[in-house]
Amino acid sequence: MKKLLTAILLTTSIFGFAQNQSLISNVPNRNTTSLNGVWNYIVDPYETGYYSFHHDEYDKQAKPSNAAYFNNYHAVNKQELVEYDFDKSPKINIPGDWTSQVPELKYYEGNVWFKKSFDYNLKAGKRLFVYLGAINYKADVYLNGKKLGTHIGGFTPFNYEVTSIAKAKDNYLVIKVDNTRHKEDVPTINTDWWNYGGITRDVTLIEEEASFVEDYNIQLKKNNATLISGFVKINNPNVSQNAVTITIPELKINYKGKVGADGILNFEIPAKKISYWSPENPKLYDVTLEYNGQKLKDNIGFRTIETKEDQILLNGKPIFLRGISIHEENAKGGRANSEEDALRLLNWAKELGCNYVRLAHYPHNENIIRTADKMGLMVWEEIPVYWTVEFTRQATYQNAEDQLTAAVTRDKNRACIIIWSMANETPISDPRYAFIKKLVDHTKSLDNTRLISAALLTQSDSAGFGTINDAIGDYLDIISFNQYLGWYGGKLEDAEKIFWKTKYNKPVIVSEFGGDAKQGLHGEKNERWTEEYQEYLYIQNLKMIEKIPHLSGLSPWILVDFRSPRRLLPGIQDEYNRKGLISNDGNKKKAFYIMQNWYSKKEKEQNQN
């Protein structure tokens, strides 16, 4: 936790209130104005709005040319040459990717400019920030022609202060989005999901006082079920106003503390008679932070999560994670981002019998995290260190670490999150080992209360055993691995003869297994792509999986068919990965009921223990 504070302080002290403002948390409960809605956009494959004809960057010019799109310029007379006009350009709904909204942009990977005009009457002494839930992949952000900053990473939030730039009338927020893939990015150039470009999550204005609560952590201290601990961080601390009150009425807590000159208050508050958060009892407490006459509310659950030898303990009791993997897609073939999207996905998970979801392969939007908190679904949250990122490149590591810091900063008060995942199916090598170990150490410095894992690849030993022989397992709390018996190899008939072993006495999660089926395609159980094949695959895999020593959970791949440019079999895949238990148009497949039945029996078994 201390490192998180240092990271935040460093950002604030170096940049002050300048462009790279440290992340503001709990945005949904702040004084906000949404900039969601209809924006104009300009497709700019040659980055004409960013570079001069000699390829000089306009935003490096002392007085950027009116040809720079971020100036949102309009000709002032009939002679003037201006070769763009946002207001006459096409419109798009934000938040939303361009793949699913603009058919001509389905395969487009490059630059698109977006513009939103707005008025804002900012009273004297108040401060204004623009907060972006996520932009895939690189964003250059401007307000009224001034560069606010550049952000890299497609799945985590960021914000900029605009107090001295915003005007009462006719502000224009212009964002250049580039979703071009690069080997050195995180994720790297190849993924098994669609590269949805655009402003894919909410755009919000946040109004604050001169000195305000920017971030805080209020959770149970590690290994202590009766002590709430954490920190409060004040942006622009005001030494004459350093009193902070934390109230949790239902726990009879009315804690008063003082922040230091650095704006930080570290606290520990004894708490009795907590109704602990769990899937059966997703209790969220009303929490209010008061500072300098301001009240910031949140709804926070309290629970402990730990491992003891090969068991996962929730609130001190062994728990089996009945999970499913989920990609962040809505029912309209695009990126999910709303509460409605979250309810659709998580209600299906509940119907399947889940108490846990693996949100793959990147941090999902805040709506699904807060909805899981309310519904009592435990969450595996992951950063997109996926397959073959450039493990030897420091800037690639920093990118991964920055995405992890933003995810932890945004979600660290959500009881539903029990696992931070460092990576997915990364090939074993010394540089990859060092890369992931550094991420593990960084995660623990930010949050030592949650479990750490990664979806590992498997090997088979000479005796034909399936095994997880990956040294990074030494640093993981949970040994998770993906295996695809019957889809990418092996015979389903052999399932009952296959045994798995791991050298660790740690909990094991099978983080992926599954196979494709085109919903509505029927045939014999040995006919690949039919629902019957997928059904048989689940039956056989589950017979094998239930024998795995230390098994503490599973998250089959995957809840819903999802779009992927790798899956091109005509009439069957048609650019969709069909491993969903539900088709992308919402129809359940036969395997859904196999998994549902298995979870139902597992739940009864757990309740008898």
Least CB distance to ligand GCU at residue 592 (A): 17
Among 482, 502, 534, 541, binds ligand GCU (CB under 6 A): 482
Among 178, 328, 425, 532, binds ligand GCU (CB under 6 A): 425
User: Which residue's CB is nearer to ligand GCU, number 44 or number 192?
Assistant: 192
Backbone angles phi and psi of 14, in degrees to 5: -70, -45
User: Which residue's CB is nearer to ligand GCU, number 187 or number 301?
Assistant: 187
Enclosing H/E stretch for 149: strand 146-152
User: Which residue's CB is nearer to ligand GCU, number 396 or number 424?
Assistant: 424
Contact in structure between 507 and 537 (CB atoms under 8 Å): no
Print the binding letters for residues 96-135 with ligand GCU: x by CB under 6 A, - otherwise.
Answer: ----------------------------------------
Contact in structure between 250 and 289 (CB atoms under 8 Å): no
36, 85, 204 from 95: Cα distances, Å: 6, 22, 11
In SS3 terms, 92-148 reads as: EEECEECCCCCHHHCCCCCEEEEEEEECCCCCCCCEEEEEECCCECEEEEEECCEEE
* DSSP annotation of 224: -
Enclosing H/E stretch for 351: helix 339-352
Least CB distance to ligand GCU at residue 423 (A): 10
User: Which residue's CB is nearer to ligand GCU, number 361 or number 589?
Assistant: 361
Q: How far apart are CA 4 and CA 395, in angstroms?
A: 19
User: Which residue's CB is nearer to ligand GCU, number 64 or number 473?
Assistant: 473
Among 396, 424, 443, 555, binds ligand GCU (CB under 6 A): 424
Q: Would you state the structure tokens that stand for residue 147, as one six-digit string?
A: 């560069």
Helix/strand/coil for 262 = coil
Q: How far apart are CA 347 and CA 39, in angstroms?
A: 31
Among 283, 335, 579, 589, binds ligand GCU (CB under 6 A): 579
Least CB distance to ligand GCU at residue 481 (A): 10
Least CB distance to ligand GCU at residue 580 (A): 10
User: Which residue's CB is nearer to ligand GCU, number 71 or number 583?
Assistant: 583
Q: Chain-centre distance of CA 117, in angstroms?
A: 28
Least CB distance to ligand GCU at residue 482 (A): 4
Q: Report the residue number whose CB is nearest to ligand GCU.
A: 192
Q: Chain-centre distance of CA 34, in angstroms?
A: 21
Contact in structure between 179 and 198 (CB atoms under 8 Å): yes
246: burial class by Cβ within 10 Å (0-12, 13-18, 19+)? buried
Number of residues forming the site for ligand GCU (CB under 6 A): 9
Helix/strand/coil for 552 = strand
Least CB distance to ligand GCU at residue 424 (A): 5
Least CB distance to ligand GCU at residue 38 (A): 34
Q: How far apart are CA 46 and CA 150, in angstroms?
A: 19
User: Which residue's CB is nearer to ligand GCU, number 31 or number 190?
Assistant: 190
Q: Does 577 bind ligand GCU (CB under 6 A)?
A: yes
Print the binding letters for residues 511-530 with ligand GCU: x by CB under 6 A, - otherwise.
Answer: -x------------------
Least CB distance to ligand GCU at residue 486 (A): 13
Least CB distance to ligand GCU at residue 455 (A): 6
Least CB distance to ligand GCU at residue 425 (A): 5
Helices and strands of the chain, counted as H and E runs: 7, 36
Q: How far apart are CA 69 and CA 51, in angstroms?
A: 10
User: Which residue's CB is nearer to ligand GCU, number 30 or number 361?
Assistant: 361
Least CB distance to ligand GCU at residue 579 (A): 5
Enclosing H/E stretch for 11: helix 2-15
Site for ligand GCU in 159-198 (CB under 6 A): 192
Site for ligand GCU in 327-366 (CB under 6 A): 361
Q: DSSP letters of 386-440?
A: BSS--TT-HHHHHHHHHHHHHHHHHHTT-TTEEEEEEEESPPP-HHHHHHHHHHH
Least CB distance to ligand GCU at residue 552 (A): 20
User: Which residue's CB is nearer to ligand GCU, number 212 or number 387?
Assistant: 387
Tell me which residue has tokens 């999901």.
193
Print the binding letters for residues 359-398 with ligand GCU: x by CB under 6 A, - otherwise.
Answer: --x-------------------------------------
* 213 strand-pairing partners: 234
Nearest to 581 by CA among 573, 569, 592: 592
517: burial class by Cβ within 10 Å (0-12, 13-18, 19+)? buried
Q: Would you state the structure tokens that stand for residue 500, as one six-digit string?
A: 């798995």
Q: How far apart are CA 441 and CA 507, in angstroms?
A: 20
Among 513, 557, 576, 598, binds ligand GCU (CB under 6 A): 557
Q: How far apart are CA 217 and CA 295, in angstroms?
A: 16
Site for ligand GCU in 194-223 (CB under 6 A): none
User: Which residue's CB is nearer to ligand GCU, number 195 or number 482?
Assistant: 482
User: Which residue's CB is nearer to ligand GCU, number 507 or number 580?
Assistant: 580
Q: Does 410 bind ligand GCU (CB under 6 A)?
A: no
Least CB distance to ligand GCU at residue 193 (A): 7
* DSSP annotation of 501: E
Least CB distance to ligand GCU at residue 338 (A): 24
| Residues in touch with ligand GCU (CB under 6 A) | 192, 361, 424-425, 482, 512, 557, 577, 579
